[in-house]
Amino acid sequence: MILLIGCEKGGPGKTTIATNLAAMRARAGRDVLLVDTDIQGTASLWAQTRDEMGISPRVATVQKFGKNLSNELRDLSKRYQDIIIDAGGRDSAELRASLVCADMAIIPVQASQFDLWTLDRMDEMVKLARSINENLDARILISRAATNIAIPETQNAKDLIGDFDTFSLLKTIIRERIAFRRAGAKGKCVTEMYEEDTNKCAFEITQLYKEIYQ
C-alpha cells in the first residue's frame, strides 16, 4: 500500500503522523519504507535519530524529489509491503506526483479557517490526480486540534469538510499534545513511549492506524 500524508499548507503535523505510522507499521512486522519528499528533511532526521539511538525495528527512509517521483514510487512498491510518503506542506511537483500513484491520501488540516480555505486547492489536485489514478482514496484528518473539546472549531471544521464530495472525513481526531514532540525528538513513535490505554496521544494515533490499515 502506498500511503501519502500531504497537504497544501504547512503546520498540521504531517511529519509527526507519517513517522508514527511508519514506526507502528514496522513494529507490526511489515516491510515499510518512509519516503521523505519535504526539502526540510524532518522525517529523515527522525529516522537518523532512531538509527543513532539503536531503536528497533529500524525504519528504512529515503529522500526523493522531482517530477519522476511517481515512477520511482511504483518501482519501490514492488520491493516494500508499505510505503509512507511525507510530502511538503505546499503545492509541489512531489505532492502532485504522489497523488498520482498513492492508494490512499491522508490530508491533515488544522481546525482553523486558514487551513480549511486550502481545501479548495486540494480538491482540485485530487480531482486532477483521479483522472489518472481513479481509485485514489482521499481522506481528511483533523489534526493538532485543541485538547479542550468544548472549543467549537473542530465541529465547525467537520461541517465545512462535509461540503466536499472529493474527500471522506476520518473519525479519528489528532489533538495537540506535547507527547508527540517528546517521542519524535527521541526517534520514536508515541506507542513506544506510552501505553495506548492510559495515554491520550498513544490512543489517538492507534485509532488512526486502525482506521487506515484495519
Length of the chain: 214
Assign 86 a pLDDT band (cuts: 50, 70, 90): very high
Assign 174 a pLDDT band (cuts: 50, 70, 90): very high
The more confidently predicted of residues 51 and 11 is 51
- What is the b/e burial string over 160-171, where b = at least 16 CB atoms within 10 angstroms of the residue's CB? bbeebebbeebe
Give yes or no for residue 186 having a pLDDT over 70: yes
Q: Convert the pLDDT of each residue in 15-50 to its tens digit.
A: 999 999 999 999 999 999 999 999 899 999 999 999
Assign 150 a pLDDT band (cuts: 50, 70, 90): low
Is residue 129 classed as helix, strand or coil in its secondary structure? helix
What is the pLDDT, as a whole number, of residue 34? 98
Cell matching residue 52: 543513532
Contact 143, 174 (CB under 8 A): yes
What is the pLDDT, as a whole number, of residue 147? 85
Q: Convert the pLDDT of each residue in 139-149 to its tens digit.
A: 999 999 888 87
What is the pLDDT, as a whole number, of residue 198? 73
In whole angstroms, give the CA distance from residue 165 to residue 163: 7
Percent of the chain with pLDDT over 70: 95
The whole-number average pLDDT for the span 139-166 is 80
Mean pLDDT score of the chain: 91
Give yes or no for residue 14 having a pLDDT over 90: yes
Lowest mean pLDDT among 111-125, 134-148, 164-178: 111-125
Longest CA–CA span in the chain (Å) reads: 47
